[in-house]
Structure 1
Amino acid sequence: MKSILREIRDTVQKYAEIMAEVSGVDVEVADATLFRVAGTGLFAAGVGQDMSREGYTYRQVLASGRLQVIDRPGHEPICRDCPRCNHCEETIEIAMPILAGGQSIGVIGLVGFTQQQRQTILNARETYLGLVEQIASFMAAKATERIERAQQQAMLSALECAIDQMEQAALVLGEDGRITMANESARRQLEQPQLEGMKAEFTATGDRMSGKTEYRLQLGGRQIFVMGQLHHLRQENSRYAIVAAFTCTREMHRNLYQMISTVGSGTLVGSSAHTERLRKEIAKIARSPSTVLILGESGTGKEVTASAIWRASDRADQQFVALNCAAIPESLLESELFGYVKGAFTGADPNGRVGKFELANKGVIFLDEIGDMPLYLQAKLLRVLQERRITRIGSNQQIPIDVRVIAATNKDLKAMMAAGKFREDLYYRLNVIPLPILPLRQRPDDIPDLARFFAQRYAQRFGRARWSIPEQTMAALKAHAWPGNVRELENTVEFMVNMSDEDGVLGPDTLPRDFFSAALPAAPAAPAAPAPTPVVSLRRAEQAAIENALAFYGATTEGKRKAAKALGIGLATLYRKLEQFQ
């Protein structure tokens, strides 16, 4: 109420001018904070200024709520503390309080500066007092009307906003910061069945994402991060001062995860001794928070293994977020991992973006092809693993996270460490629980199980009622080297289901032609004149020989050692050749 006169200043100024015209003296109006709202004559130039240092009479009138008439300014008891006491320029002053709702919201001052003005007021004292009182009543009525209308509008705005934001959490706060209204979404997201009466404090973190401001909400001893907006109703001492419409960051992450999640099956298929041992190891480590490093060639099922660990853990009801470090351009990988806020860098999404670590909070993040991560990011990842905090690009806010990290690679990280391409401290931080996966050619007992699993999947997907794999076809599948491992087997079975007839038999004739010629011996051909052999460069021939050797012995450190020995070269020479070919 103390500033209501400022909101109707045009009306106040009009009344002041009318009073000055009738009385022939200067008139000023101040609000409860001694801010000059209106003025005429000598006071006109001071409208809009603070007069708290000079309004000694007005301060007492506001406090008492009673009229003051000063016949001899500067020489009366009320003037005792005024700096102009005994040498005041005024000759007479009438100070009338403006009362609304039983409170002083301002004061009207009629001030004479000449003896003629003084005598005029004294000659018609009661008339002037009645005029001032009437004008004060007019101003009070206008202010009261404005106050009531503002209160009604505040109530309507609060109710409308709460209804409009039903999909979001909505809280209506009073001037004291206590919740006066909450919708069902707020109770669900804040996990609090009764919110009314609780004190809520919103503090902006400085970050903006998705067009919304991030706030730190203090509620009942808890700290909760939310994204939304605060709508101030500018109403003091009211039950409806602020409407907060927001979504808890955790809820936002869950919704975003549901939109982008592509988690596949976490089922390990196969009956080989290696796969059985892998299942037992996963059962042992699933509930541990320790970091896991999965090692194996491309296509061996590293992501399936990571997913199996997640599904068997106590985080299975939380997010599983996968990121292939080799599939993201180096310039964008940091923003994918840690996210960024509005205006973080040129070309960034103006709405900002949530990073994979933040999205995976409380769950599991799977960093595939970790060996392809650039060195500068390896240092940042190491810090995240040590401190369990992330910082969005363009933000100064550190966000605590609780994420289990599972990494995977098809590269020899020890050789990369020796070459200065992978940080040793990060390697040991990731390699807490190493989990090697053999290539498919070294676990042929898994091939029949995998072939039948993929055949069932694609037969259902393509609407095939029947399918079968004859022994001759299965023998060909088991005899194949599978340089592309499980991924190659899956693609082959998908091709076979597409090529099968209505009977669903996946016979040898459904195998890809290049596969069939490699898997089954060709019929002897009639002697023919030798055809000219195409010329192949020495570099290509050397590369082909190395690729064949690695396909046979495997890309592990031991496999490379055996391949180098079979090729008749040193291990260091093999690594140098691989670097050149890469």
Structure 2
Amino acid sequence: MENSLIDIKEHVKKYANVITNLINVDVGIVDKNMRRVTGTGLYKNIEGVLALGSVYQNTLKTGKTNIIRNPRQHELCSECLDKNRCREKLEIATPIYCRDEIVGVLGLVCFNDEQKEKILNALDSYLNFTKQIAEFIGIKFYEYQEEASQKEREETFNQIFNNMAKGVIVSDCNDIILMVNNIGLKKLKLTASPLGKNLKLISQNETIMNEEVFKLFIENSEYNVAGKIIPLALPNSKKANAFLFDDIQKINSSIVEIANADNTITLDNIIGNSPATIQLKENIKKVADSTSTVLITGESGTGKELVARSLHNQGNRKDKPFVVINCSAIPDTLLESELFGYVKGAFTGANQNGRMGKFELANNGVIFLDEIGDMPLYLQAKLLRVIQDKKIERIGSNKSIDLNIRIIAATNVDLIKNIKEKKFRSDLYYRLNVIPISILPLRERKEDIIPIINNLIYKYNKISDKFVHTIEKDVLTALTEYNWPGNVRELENVIELMINMSSEDGVITKKMLPENILNISEKNFSSADKVIFKDDMTLDNFEDIEKKYIEKALSVYGNDTDGKKYISEKMNIGLTTLYRKMKKYNIK
């Protein structure tokens, strides 16, 4: 709200009475909006009434003092709305300044010739006197504005101060508490006012969620909090500090919310009707509440993280943090600090506040170590100690942090082979492999392909704003017969591609298939198939048939080790036998 001279009318009235009593003339004072503030004589008790005089208006506009010796005849009076009722003999209008702004007009008015003559005989003296009174009024108005602004600032500050989400304690340079906001009183459970008491803060050289951890002492009471100290300058120029803080419990709740923000995966997200998938779900239910470590193995793209999240969500820690770290995606030099965190100043380039590690972030919940097979050996030793001791230490700290945590690890590499090659510790492997969960590749559970396709069509219809409702039979045949070396991840990419390529008719046709799947589909009836179904087939050409079968299988399932393993399993022979047959038939 805009301030006006009317707000200090009691003070202005005193100045008006002083003038009248000293020089025996009437006084009229208006604000910058031409509203009468106060006055004497004819102008007494008409506060708030709109003045009509054109002389005051001119003074407000020009900032000049106007002396009207001949009212009603002066050129300024020609436009006056009150001209016909005017009885004035002399009028002096002096501007009232507050800093550089005109905030009103002080008017001296004579209604008889004796008053007029008296003023004119000593005009300069009366003009100076009037100007001084106008300055006094301006100074008083300035003081009022400053007080009003200060009060408004204090009210605004108090509203912000008491509605902050964090607790705030303001203390002076001697650590005496000056202010505490409402949320601060609540967080510290203070029933008596702490104002005037001594405050002590001791840094623990740790951080949680980028907030420094402190022990806070008020008299004999101790609190564990996290926050920051902000230097202040009080209005009296004395130094002070504001301590913005949260209680550790509140921060831990925030950590859980952040860690679980994407954890909406349940058993229903594991799609499939194959015996292997049904058994997988049953196994997850059985071990979900256990605290034992889990090792999930399976080829890339089979959904190991999906299984880990389902396992967490099914268990009794589902409301606790679920923290993921990909051991192959983070450089070796950074992985240790990511896992264990560090205190401030632990190493060159470290965050000045220190940092919480993933293990600490996951405390009371679950940590998922994806691609555990790529963890460097020196860190494997540290991880082994964490599993055994249930404790960690931040880099640069000698303070142990107790852990109540469940570890789920996953890998797509053969850890037994890595152990033989001295790339993975055998003791760590046995510590991790307490509850083994193996996920079959998609080619070994083809009953899951159609349900997964249906689920993906629903998903990408929503994402792409499409309405795909039909897949042609030969497309489904091609998709179910394909080997899927990239597993579910590859299948998802193919479905996303075909939905994006689909027309408004909502039908997926064979021409939408990726070229690699289309080419394999067209080789289904190869020369080997024709030999098998010949009516004149005899045992004499069995070796020819076997050779062509192996050649076809290699073209379909791949010439790498995984492909050959799969072919040998389907032929019910050992891998060594397959190599021997390939050598016999000169298959390269």
TM-score by length of 2: 0.57
Output aligned runs, 1:37-52, within 5 Å.
Answer: none
Output aligned runs, 1:34-113, within 5 Å.
Answer: none
Q: Which amino acid aligns with 1:184?
A: I
Output aligned runs, 1:351-430, within 5 Å.
Answer: 351-430=353-432
Distance 1:508 1:167, change over 3 A: same
Alignment partner, residue 7 of structure 2:
none
CA shift for structure 1 position 232: 10
CA shift for structure 1 position 368: 0.6
Alignment partner, residue 331 of structure 1:
333
CA shift for structure 1 position 377: 0.3
Percent of residue pairs identical: 39
Counterpart CA distance in 2 for 1:227 and 1:565 is 68
5+ long unaligned stretches in structure 1: 1-155, 235-240, 526-542, 570-582
Distance 1:211 1:201, change over 3 A: same
Distance 1:242 1:493, change over 3 A: same
Residues 203 and 215, structure 1, Cα contact 8 Å, conserved in 2: yes
Counterpart CA distance in 1 for 2:230 and 2:439 is 52
CA shift for structure 1 position 263: 4.5
Counterpart CA distance in 2 for 1:169 and 1:431 is 46
Instruction: Name the stretch that deviates more: 167-176 or 463-472.
Output: 167-176
Alignment partner, residue 567 of structure 1:
579
Alignment partner, residue 102 of structure 1:
none
Matching residue within 478, 482, 495 for 2:480: 478
Which whole-Å deviations, capped at 9, do the CAs of 1:177-206 have from their partners, x for residues lacking one? 99984533774xx5x766656999753212
5+ long unaligned stretches in structure 2: 1-153, 235-239, 528-557, 582-588
Output aligned runs, 1:152-191, within 5 Å.
Answer: 163=161, 166-171=164-169, 181-184=180-183, 187=186, 190=187
CA shift for structure 1 position 343: 2.8
Q: Which amino acid aligns with 1:166?
A: M
Alignment partner, residue 548 of structure 1:
563
CA shift for structure 1 position 546: 2.8
Residues 225 and 245, structure 2, Cα contact 8 Å, conserved in 1: no
CA shift for structure 1 position 408: 0.6
Instruction: Name the stretch that deviates more: 283-292 or 351-360.
Output: 351-360
CA shift for structure 1 position 376: 0.5
TM-score by length of 1: 0.57
CA shift for structure 1 position 308: 0.1
Alignment partner, residue 494 of structure 1:
496
Distance 1:170 1:432, change over 3 A: farther
Residues 171 and 186, structure 1, Cα contact 8 Å, conserved in 2: no
CA shift for structure 1 position 384: 1.5
Alignment partner, residue 213 of structure 1:
212
Residues 365 and 406, structure 2, Cα contact 8 Å, conserved in 1: yes
Residues 209 and 351, structure 1, Cα contact 8 Å, conserved in 2: no
Q: Which amino acid aligns with 2:579?
A: L
Output aligned runs, 1:105-504, within 5 Å.
Answer: 163=161, 166-171=164-169, 181-184=180-183, 187=186, 190=187, 196=192, 202-207=201-206, 212-216=211-215, 224=224, 226-229=226-229, 244-249=243-248, 251-252=250-251, 255=254, 262-263=262-263, 265-266=265-266, 267-504=269-506
| Higher Rg of the two aligned structures | 2
| Structure 1 counterpart SS, 2:320 | coil
Q: Which amino acid aligns with 2:507?
A: V
Residues 179 and 197, structure 1, Cα contact 8 Å, conserved in 2: no
Distance 1:211 1:545, change over 3 A: closer
Which whole-Å deviations, capped at 9, do the CAs of 1:451-470 have from their partners, x for residues lacking one? 11111111110011343323
Residues 468 and 508, structure 2, Cα contact 8 Å, conserved in 1: no
Q: Which amino acid aligns with 1:312?
A: Q
Counterpart CA distance in 2 for 1:502 and 1:482 is 28
| Structure 1 counterpart SS, 2:206 | strand
Residues 483 and 551, structure 1, Cα contact 8 Å, conserved in 2: no
Instruction: Name the stretch that deviates more: 249-258 or 469-478.
Output: 249-258
Alignment partner, residue 509 of structure 1:
511
Alignment partner, residue 75 of structure 2:
none
| Structure 1 counterpart SS, 2:338 | helix
Q: Which amino acid aligns with 1:369?
A: E
CA shift for structure 1 position 293: 0.8
Instruction: Name the stretch that deviates more: 507-516 or 449-458.
Output: 507-516
Counterpart CA distance in 2 for 1:390 and 1:225 is 21
Distance 1:435 1:223, change over 3 A: farther
Q: Which amino acid aligns with 1:227?
A: G
| Structure 2 counterpart SS, 1:385 | helix
Which whole-Å deviations, capped at 9, do the CAs of 1:312-367 have from their partners, x for residues lacking one? 11221222111111111111111111122333222334443332112222221110
Residues 315 and 363, structure 1, Cα contact 8 Å, conserved in 2: yes
Counterpart CA distance in 1 for 2:571 and 2:407 is 28
Residues 206 and 354, structure 2, Cα contact 8 Å, conserved in 1: no
Counterpart CA distance in 1 for 2:264 and 2:299 is 19
| Structure 2 counterpart SS, 1:317 | coil
Counterpart CA distance in 2 for 1:176 and 1:524 is 88
Aligned pair count reads 384
Q: Provide the alpha-carbon RMSD of the alignment.
A: 4.1
Counterpart CA distance in 2 for 1:256 and 1:265 is 19
Counterpart CA distance in 2 for 1:285 and 1:184 is 42
| Structure 1 counterpart SS, 2:508 | coil
Which whole-Å deviations, capped at 9, do the CAs of 1:89-112 have from their partners, x for residues lacking one? xxxxxxxxxxxxxxxxxxxxxxxx
Counterpart CA distance in 1 for 2:362 and 2:442 is 31
Q: Which amino acid aligns with 2:406?
A: R
Distance 1:289 1:211, change over 3 A: closer
